[in-house]
Structure 1
């Protein structure tokens, strides 16, 4: 009886924003995804460039030679994104610092899709456990929201090129912040990502060698599969399925697929934790399981915590406290 109630509660949370999510249609916008590409190259050109981006992912997710100068104001840090978009607000990155002392261990937190605020409880909990917590705003969220938008529709959407650019921007912004923190004297850097933020944190962990621990909550390997099968992205699938199938979407979004980089995620010096909700209908548990198996096949042994709840019910005190304690122990080990 309890779990039936829990599943219904999760489904209601999933549908809470459905009235803001409209069905549109497929758009490629290849030039948004791949700098220097032609916008009129067609789907096959998009797939070719996506494959090329995976092959040369160090460049695709790479940084400029010089780090941006960061501005500081009390507990806030801001700097210009090196990927410039048409949304002015989105071009400045802001991160909030919560710390209980002079910790030299920075924890960079990447929030979930459509987050409308940072998580002070999470930040206070991890600062109490000895971290300097930096909650970064991902593209088109929080201070970076697109004026007039009801949700972060430019971060994850039926526009394939815009989605690739947004995730790439989130990764590059995160790596830029990590570089700034290293320059500021932080000796140890870890990342924690939640839901869509876990894809960003995972991509950063795969490409940023100074990250030695990554805790990924509610994650999977294939972003394409998550969108195609997840309850929170039904409108995106409905927008796409008359034009492309799942196999083609996997090709297009291969640069965003954590399974494209399992060898990197299994690199020496990186410890991975995954927190998986066994009743999740947004990121289906089999997507998490498949990623875990691929990483193990590459030679690593991620720490895995299975929780018998749904995607949104992980935020309930019954489950979130256990997950938080597990993550803090892992990150502090």
Structure 2
């Protein structure tokens, strides 16, 4: 009875989020995704560039790697993004810092798609326990929101190239922040990603050795499959389906598929923590299970917590409390690199 009510609550929450989303045009837009794109006019040509990006170990490395331009004031950090887009607000990265008074550990948080506020409770909970919390704005979120937009439609959409550009920009921004945190003297860097933010956090953990611990909430491997099957992305699927099938979408967004980076996530000095919802209709459990199995096959041993709730009801008691306590234990454990 209770879980039937919980499912209905998740569905009502999903419907509210659906109100602002509409179908849009399918667009390849390869120049946003790949610097070498020239006369790309077909899905097959786009997919070939995506294949090359998967094979390129530097695809998620910011070319300049600059640590300049950081401004810290009154608990806020502001710095220029390493990628320039056609939305001026999106080209400046904002992060909220909740200090702990210690440089032993810092937790960088990447929120879910269309988040409207940062999580003060998480920040205060961990800062009181000696972990500084830095909540970064992903592209087109919070202070980086596109003027006139009802949600972060440029972060994830039926524009194939812009979606890759946005996730890649989020990874570059996150890695630039990690570089600054290292320069400030933080000794252990952990990251937390929620839903879409877990793809960003996972890609950063896969490509940046500065990360010693990564916690991924409500995650999976294939972003294409999540969009195609998920409750929150029906409008995007409706926009995609007349022009592209799931097989081609998987290939087009292959650089964003964490299953293609599991060998990096399985590196011996990285600890992984995964929180999954058994009743999730946004990131389907079978997609999450496929990703977990790929991690294990690559040699990773993730710490996994399964909760009998939905995607949105994870934020409700008792599930959020169980997830928070599990995350606390994970962050408190001695990192592999220190053993």
TM-score by length of structure 2 reads 0.96
Match of 1:57, SS?
coil
Residue of structure 1 equivalent to 2:51:
51
Distance 2:317 2:174 in 1: 28
Distance 1:117 1:207 in 2: 28
Distance 2:144 2:65 in 1: 25
Judge which range, 62-71 or 89-98, deviates more. 62-71
Alignment of 1:4-43 (within 5 A): 4-38=4-38, 40-43=40-43
Contact map agreement 1:230 1:283 (CA 8 A) in 2: yes
Contact map agreement 2:40 2:46 (CA 8 A) in 1: no
Alignment of 1:1-333 (within 5 A): 1-38=1-38, 40-333=40-333
Query: 1:6-63: per-residue Cα shift (whole Å, max 9, x none)?
Result: 0000011111022211112310000011124126432112101111111013234445
Distance 1:288 1:323 in 2: 17
Distance 1:195 1:66 in 2: 28
Contact map agreement 2:110 2:193 (CA 8 A) in 1: yes
Contact map agreement 2:283 2:311 (CA 8 A) in 1: yes
Shift of 1:133: 0.2
Shift of 1:317: 2.2
- The list of structure 1 runs, each at least 4 consecutive aligned residues, that deviate by more than 6 angstroms after superposition, is none
Match of 2:59, SS?
helix
Structure 2 alignment gaps of length 5 or more: 334-339
Distance 1:316 1:219 in 2: 18
Q: CA RMSD in A?
A: 1.1
Distance 1:302 1:194 in 2: 16
Contact map agreement 2:60 2:171 (CA 8 A) in 1: no
Query: 1:291-315: per-residue Cα shift (whole Å, max 9, x none)?
Result: 1100100111111000000000000
Distance 1:194 1:130 in 2: 22
Contact map agreement 1:61 1:168 (CA 8 A) in 2: no
Distance 1:255 1:62 in 2: 15
Query: 1:101-150: per-residue Cα shift (whole Å, max 9, x none)?
Result: 22331110000000011010111112122211000000000000000000
Contact map agreement 1:278 1:306 (CA 8 A) in 2: yes
Distance 1:261 1:40 in 2: 26
Distance 2:61 2:19 in 1: 34
Shift of 1:234: 0.5
Q: What is the total number of aligned residue pairs between the two structures?
A: 333
